Amino acid sequence: MKNRVMSALLAGSLVWGAFSVSVAQGALNDAGQEAEERSSSSSRKSIVKPNVKFSLPGNRDPMLSPDDILLLKHREKVRMQAEEADRRRREEEEKRRLAEEEKRRQWELMLIKDPTVLVRNQIRIDGLIDKEVLIGGKLYTVGNTYKGAKIVKVGADSVTFSYKGHKFVKKVKL
């Protein structure tokens, strides 16, 4: 019983396949005949058929209303403005980072060339008494150190310090 049903189904599908092929071939033959008739009739008579095409201006979707199109254009404009603002912000951040990096690099170079800068700005001489120096309310003499800088020489209105092998002179502020 099962074999009979299967063979009937198989035969039916073969018949249907043959029918669909013959219909497709018939449609092709009909199209070819129509083309021949048109060419022969156009040579006999010049019948002009109107060439009607439906097309919208531009490439817009016919399912969108003019308001939808306006809204889409506005959203695209806002998106582009946001992208541009983000790009400018990233550029500014990069410039700022590079400027800070360059400033740090210059500071490091200056410290390598002249390490006394760190201490020099912290020392403020209040006064001189003979060969003694008054700094921060305390008296120092030649050979003493203040914030890592050694007092080398006390002059009439200045003091010479030595810091990490470099010498610098600090004048008395009056």
Q: Is residue 19 scored above 80 in pLDDT?
A: no
pLDDT confidence of 20, banded at 50, 70, 90?
very low
- Total domains in the chain come to 3
Q: Are strands 149-154 and 132-135 parallel, antiparallel or unpaired?
A: unpaired
CA dist., res. 143 & res. 161, Å (int): 10
The larger pLDDT score, comparing residue 57 to residue 106, is at: 106
Residues 6+ apart with CB under 8 A from 152: 142, 160, 161, 162, 167
Residues 6+ apart with CB under 8 A from 173: 124, 125
Q: Which amino acid is at 153?
A: K
pLDDT value of residue 57: 63
Same domain, 102 and 78: yes
Same domain, 10 and 40: yes
Chosen domain end from 113, 128, 156: 113
Residue 60's φ and ψ, nearest 5 degrees, are: -85, 155
Helices (H), the chain: 2-44, 66-113, 117-120
Query: Domain residues for 8?
Result: 1-52
